[in-house]
Structure 1
Amino acid sequence: MEKKQQPHVVMVPLPLQGHVKPLLCLAQLLSEAGLYVSFVNTTQSHKRFTNLETITTHFPNIHFECISDGLPEDHPRALLTEYFEGMKRETTPHFKELLLSLGRKSLTGSSPPVTCIIADGVLPFAVGVAEELGIPIFSFCVHSARFLWGYLNIPKLIEEGQLPFSDGNLYHSINGVPGLEGIFRRKDLPEFCILPDPHHPIIKFFVGETIAMTKTSGLILNTFDELEDSCIHHVSSACNNLYTVGPLHAHINSKLGDRARSIASRGSLYSVEEKCLEWLDSQQPKSVLYVSFGSITQTSLSQLMEFWHGLVNSGKPFLWVIRPGAIIGEEGNEGIPEDLLPGPTERGYIVEWAPQEQVLAHHAVGAFLTHSGWGSVLESIVAKIPMICWPYMGDHYINTQCVNKVWKIGVELEAWDRSTVEKAIISVMETKKDDFQISMDKVAKLAEDSISKGGSSSQNLDKLVEDIRKIKATA
C-alpha cells in the first residue's frame, strides 16, 4: 500500500508585524494538525525575528526560509504602489527559485513535495508564480470581512457614480452595499478612493490584486462568523472557498494550553520589553490604560505630546508603546522630550514594544487606546478590554465603526487634543465602564465559542486542513 505523503504548505506573509503574526499563528495550527510548513520571510524581516528557536522547538514541522525582496537595502519599503510594484517585479524570480529549490529537496527526501501555497493576499507576486508552476494557492486576508467586502465593491461604486467624489466630504454615507448599511462612509474606503480619476493606475492595481484573492483555491480570513455575519456570506459568494478561522491567536492558544505562555510573543519583529509586566503586577485591577498605535502609524511630536498631556490629565496610570520610528522625522531618541523616553515613571511606563497579548490579559489593564488594526481589535475582544479607537489608515476606520456602533465595545477618539483624549479615557474607564463590559463579555463569548470544539472557526480550520490533504502534491 502506497504511503501517504505529508502535506507541505508554503506560507508567505507581507513583511509587516500585523501580517506576519496571524499567518504564523495559522502556520502553528497547521503544524499541530501534522502538516509540514515552510514559512517564507524576506531577508530583512527574517533578521528581525526575535524567537525563531523557541518556535521551531515547539513546532518542529515549521521550517523558516527567507528570500530577498529584490529591493536595495536603503529602500524605505513604505506601503506605496511603487513598493508593491517593485516587489512584483523584483521578488517574483526569488520566490520562484525558492519553490523550485524546495522541489529539488523533495527529490532527495529532505522535505515533502510542495502541496500548496498560502500567501498574504496583498502580495503581488505569489499568484502569478503559483500559476506558472502549477501549484494550488490559497489567499490569506489580514483584514476584517467588512473591509474586504467594501474593497470588493469599489468597481460597483465607480459604476454607480458614488466614486469618485469631488465635494471632499469623507463622512458622506456609501449606499447600496449589502451588509454595510448604516456604517459605511467614504472615510472607510481605502485612501486611494479620493483620487479623481477612477481609472488611475493605483486604483486598478490595488482593486485588481484584491479581486485576484477571490480567484484562488480558497480565501482564509482571520475572523469568525458570529462577529461579521452581515458580510461573511457576501464575501463567501464572491470567492471559491471561504475559511473563517479566527481569532487565530486565541485559536492556537486554546490548542497549546499551558505551552502558549512560553511562545506568546511569537513572530515579533521587535524586541519585546518583558519588564513592563512586572510593573503591571504592582498596579490596581482595571486601573491601567494600555496605549499602542501598532507597527505602521507615525505621528508628529506635537501629536504625541497632546496624547501625553491627555494621559497624564486623566489621572490613570498608563503603559504606552512608542516604537522607534513612530515619530515623524525621528529615527532614534535624539530630540525627543524626556517624558516620551522609554522607562517607568510615577505616571506610567513607556516601552518600545510590548508583549501585547500578555498585557491585554493582565488584570491591571482596564482599557486599550488603539489605532484599530484588525489584529489589535481581535486581541482586545478576546481579552475583554474596551477600546478607545484612533484610526490611522486603511481598515482602521471601518474597524472603529464596528467597535463603536455595531458591537458597542468602545468609542472613537474624534480628535487628538489633550482635552478630548482625557475625556475619552475617563468615559471608557469610569462613566460607561459597565455598559462596555456587558457588550464586551458577549462578543468575547462568541469568540471563545467559535474556536471551541464544534465552533464555527474550529470546524472551518478542520475543513481547511482536510482540503489541503486532498490536494495532490507538486513534486
Structure 2
Amino acid sequence: MLISIFLKDFAMQEIVPNYHPLRYKDLPFSTSPVEEWKQLVSNFSQQAHPSAIIWNTIKFLEHESLTQIHNHLQVPVFAIGPLHKIKPSSYVSSHQVDTSCITWLDKQPPKSVVYISFGSLATMDAKVLTEMAWGLAKSNQRFLWALRPGLVCGLEWLELLPEGFVGETRERGLIVKWAPQKDVLAHFAVGGFWSHCGWNSCLESISSGVVMICQPFSVDQGVNARYMSYVWKIGLELEQVEREEIRRMIKRVMVDEEGEEMRVRVNGMKEMVKEAVGNSGSSQESLEGLVNFILSR
C-alpha cells in the first residue's frame, strides 16, 4: 500500500507532455478517477460547436493558447479581460465588506503589507491554518488578513487562530472578515498577495502590480499558480504548508532581492494591462469586435 501511494504521488509530480510547466497534480479535478475524466471529455465533445469564444483574459498573457483555440475551433476568440478593468463596478459580495482596513493601510509604509485572502469558497484543516498563522508571525512582516468565517469547518472566526497569535501580531497586523480586494490590491502599502490563485484574484493582482504567494486549493487554481510562478515569474508557489517554509516564502517576496525582481516584472505587466484596456488596446478592440459580432448575427 505505501509503495502504491508513493508511486502515485511521484506520477502526479511529472510534467504533462506538451503542457510544460504543468504537472498532473496541477490539472483541474486531478483527484477525480480516470473514468470520470473520460466521461467529462466525452460530454464536452458532444456539445454544440460554439459560434465564438469569450475569455476573461488578456492577449499578451495567453497569446499562444488563444491562437491554438482559434486554430482548433475555427471561430472568433474574444479576449476581453480583465473584466474588472473593462467595466469597473461597485463592490458586490455575499460577505460584509470591512472598509476600515483601507484607513489602516493608509498608515503603513509603501509595499510593506502582505494581503492574505483565499476567496469565498476554499476551506482548510485547522492544522493548516495553524501553520499558516505561525509562519506569518515568524516572518515579522506587516499583514492584512481577510479571514473569512467558516474557512475551517465548524469554527466561526478568531477562534480559528492558534492561542497567542493575535496578541503576538497585534502591532503589525490587522484581521478582518472580508476586505474590498480590488481597493486593497491597488493600495500603495500592499507589497504581496497570499492567495488561493483563483483567476479573478490573479488578474486583479497583475492589474495592480502586486507579487503573489500562491497556495492553490482546487479546480483551475493549480494551473494558475504554476503560470504565476513558472511562466510569468511574478509569484512563488507554496507547496509545503509548514511554518518555517511560510516564513521563508514571505521573506523572499517582501524583503529579498528575488521579490524585488518579481515586482519589476509585475509592474511591467501592470502597464501592459493599462494599454490593453485603453483606447485601441487589445481588450477594447476585442470587446468592440464582440459587439459587432453579436449585432451581425
Asked if these proteins are the same fold (TM beyond 0.5), I'd say yes
Corresponding position of 1:449: 275
CA distance in structure 2 between the partners assigned to 1:437 and 1:185 by the alignment: 26
- Measure the CA separation in 1 of the matches of 2:104 and 2:227: 32
1:236 corresponds to 2:70: yes
The aligned counterpart of 1:184 is 22
Per the alignment, residue 94 of structure 1 pairs with none
Alignment of 1:82-97 (within 5 A): none
Q: Using the alignment, how far apart are the partners of 2:187 and 2:158 within structure 1?
A: 32
Match 1:221 to one of 34, 40, 55: 55
- Label 1:423 to 1:210 Cα distance change in 2 as closer, same or farther (>3 A): farther
Greater length-normalized contact order (CA 8 Å, ≥ 6 residues apart) = 2
C-alpha separation between the residues in 2 aligned to 1:220 and 1:361? 26
Checking the alignment, whether the CA contact within 8 Å between 2:97 and 2:180 is kept in structure 1 is yes
Matches of 2:46 and 2:179, distance apart in 1? 35
Cα 1:304–1:247 shift into 2, 3 Å: same
2:17 maps to a residue whose letter is N
**Which whole-Å CA distance do the structure 1 matches of 2:164 and 2:46 have between them?**
47
Q: 1:252 to 1:340 in 2, by over 3 A?
A: farther
Query: What 5-or-longer segments of structure 1 have no aligned partner?
Result: 1-165, 254-259
Secondary structure of 2:133's match?
helix
Q: How far, CA to CA, are the matches of 1:433 and 1:184 in structure 2?
A: 23
The answer to whether the Cα contact below 8 Å between 1:213 and 1:219 also exists between their aligned partners in 2 is no
- CA drift at 1:208: 4.6
Aligned to 1:416: 241
Q: Given the superposition, is the C-alpha separation of residues 209 and 461 from structure 1 closer, same or farther in structure 2, using an over 3 Å criterion?
A: farther
Q: What residue number does 1:350 align with?
A: 175
The correspondence for 1:322, drawn from 113, 137, 147, is: 147
8 Å Cα contact 2:116/2:193 also seen in 1:
yes
Shift in Å, 1:434: 2.2
The farther-off stretch of 358-367 and 346-355 is: 346-355
- Which amino acid is 2:273 matched to? A
Native 8 Å contact 2:132 2:242 kept in 1: yes
- The 3 A distance-change label for structure 1 pair 381 and 209 is farther
CA separation in 2, counterparts of 1:420 and 1:450? 37
1:388 to partner: Cα distance: 0.7
In structure 1, distance between residues paired with 2:22 and 2:48: 22
Distance of aligned partners of 1:415 and 1:192 in 2 relative to their CA distance in 1, 3 Å threshold: closer
Q: Percent identity?
A: 34
Q: Which residue of 2 aligns with 1:171?
A: 13
- Secondary structure of 2:61's partner? coil
Q: Deviations over 1:89-131 (max 9, x none)?
A: xxxxxxxxxxxxxxxxxxxxxxxxxxxxxxxxxxxxxxxxxxx
Pairing of 1:326-345 with structure 2 (within 5 A): 326-330=151-155, 332-333=156-157, 335-337=159-161, 345=170
Distance 1:293 1:414, change over 3 A: same
Do the aligned partners of residues 279 and 459 (structure 1) sit closer, same or farther apart at CA in structure 2, a change above 3 Å counting? Answer: same
Question: Is contact 1:222-1:248 (8 Å) kept?
Answer: yes
Distance 2:201 2:47 in 1: 23
Q: CA deviation at 1:325?
A: 1.7
Contact 1:224-1:450 at 8 Å conserved across structures? yes
CA pair 359-464 structure 1, distance change in 2 beyond 3 A: same
Q: Distance in 2 between matches of 1:334 and 1:455?
A: 45
What is residue 206 of structure 1 aligned with on the other side? 40
Which residue of structure 1 aligns with residue 131 of structure 2?
306
Name the CA shift for 1:209/1:372 in 2 (closer, same or farther; >3 Å). Answer: farther
> 1:368, CA displacement in angstroms?
0.5
**Match for residue 144 of structure 1?**
none
- Cα contact 2:114–2:192 (8 A) shared by 1: yes
Distance 1:312 1:193, change over 3 A: closer
Q: Which amino acid aligns with 1:459?
A: E
Cα 1:355/1:208, change in 2 over 3 Å: farther
Q: Contact between 2:150 and 2:157, CA under 8 Å: does it hold in 1?
A: no
- Say whether 1:460 aligns with 2:286: yes
**Structure 1 residues 339 and 230 mapped into 2: Cα distance closer, same or farther (>3 Å)?**
farther
* TM-fit CA distance, 1:215: 2.1
Q: Decide whether aligned partners of structure 1 residues 333 and 360 sit closer, same or farther in structure 2, where only a CA change above 3 A counts.
A: closer
How many Å separate the matches in 2 of 1:423 and 1:310? 8
Whichever residue aligns with residue 259 of structure 2, its letter is K
The Cα shift of 1:445 comes to: 2.1
Contact 2:139 2:248 in 1 (8 A): yes
SS of the residue 1:227 aligns to = helix
- Which amino acid in the other structure matches residue 313 of structure 1? K
TM-superposed deviation, 1:438: 1.6
Please give the alpha-carbon distance, in whole angstroms, between the structure 1 residues aligned to 2:204 and 2:31: 29
Give SS of 1:238's match.
Answer: helix
Summarize the alignment of residues 392-431 of structure 1 with structure 2, pairs less than 5 Å apart.
Answer: 392-431=217-256
The answer as to whether partners of 1:245 and 1:458 remain within 8 angstroms in 2 is yes
Q: 1:209 to 1:318 in 2, by over 3 A?
A: farther
Question: Partners in 2 of 1:308 and 1:211 — Cα distance?
Answer: 44
Q: Are residues 1:246 and 2:56 paired?
A: no
Is the counterpart of residue 361 in structure 1 residue 186 in structure 2? Answer: yes
Q: Secondary structure at the match of 1:216?
A: coil
Q: CA RMSD in A?
A: 2.2
How many residues align? The count is 285
Structure 2: gaps (5+ residues) = 1-6
